[in-house]
Structure 1
Amino acid sequence: MLPDNILGWLVVGVVAGALGKLIMPGKDPGGLIVTILLGIAGAYLAYVVIPLIGLAEWIAEPSWFKTIVASTIGAVVLLGLYRVVMAKRR
């Protein structure tokens, strides 16, 4: 499910991070670099969580579509967590 080279990570990061920010618009920090890191972190989160919730067969046959979907969901979750933490700090 995860990309196997740096270019793959960058593509997944920018697409998933941008989709995550599109799904959850708002005042979040960062430009392109933070968006890429958000997407990469979302991909890693999805890679760890998907088997834990019993969907390991979903990633048995990896595809770019599944990777982008899972990474975007992970990015949305991370954005949500960021907003909860920042709201408590105010």
Structure 2
Amino acid sequence: MGFSSFVGALFVGLVIGVLGRLIRPGKQDIPIWLTIVVGILAAFLGTLVADAAGIGDTRGFDWIEFLIQLALSVVGVGIAAGAYGRRSLH
């Protein structure tokens, strides 16, 4: 993975993670680095799901793949907030 790919993955992860936090109701007490990690994982898994469903290779912006990634990010932010909140209480 080159430097530009790494920076691109961070940017996509940040965008997907932040959008997931904005959509998820309630307050999420997780740090920004965890938001980025959740976003990167959601983007990666969303791409795998879209490819497996045969909808991942389209021309231009792939809205269906993006919505899958976003849904996974919302779920991931919820899981991370729950796990991170329990960990920091003890």
Query: TM-score normalised by the shorter chain: which range applies?
Result: 0.5 to 0.7
Q: Deviations over 1:9-60 (max 9, x none)?
A: 01101100000000003232322211111100111221222244x3x2x211
Q: Does 1:73 find its partner at 2:76?
A: no
Equivalent runs, 1:14-29 vs 2, <5 Å: 14-29=14-29
TM-score (structure 1 length as normaliser): 0.65
Identity fraction in percent: 30
- Across the aligned residues of Structure 1 and Structure 2, the Cα RMSD in angstroms comes to 2.8
1:65: Cα distance to partner?
5.7
Scaled by the length of structure 2, what TM-score is found? 0.65
Partner of 1:59, secondary structure, is coil
Matches within 5 A, 1:1-40: 5-40=5-40
Is the contact between residue 17 and residue 38 of structure 1 (CA under 8 Å) also seen in structure 2? yes
Change in 2 beyond 3 A, CA 1:71/1:50: same
Question: Which letter does structure 1 place at the counterpart of 2:73?
Answer: A
Between Structure 1 and Structure 2, whose CA radius of gyration is higher? 2
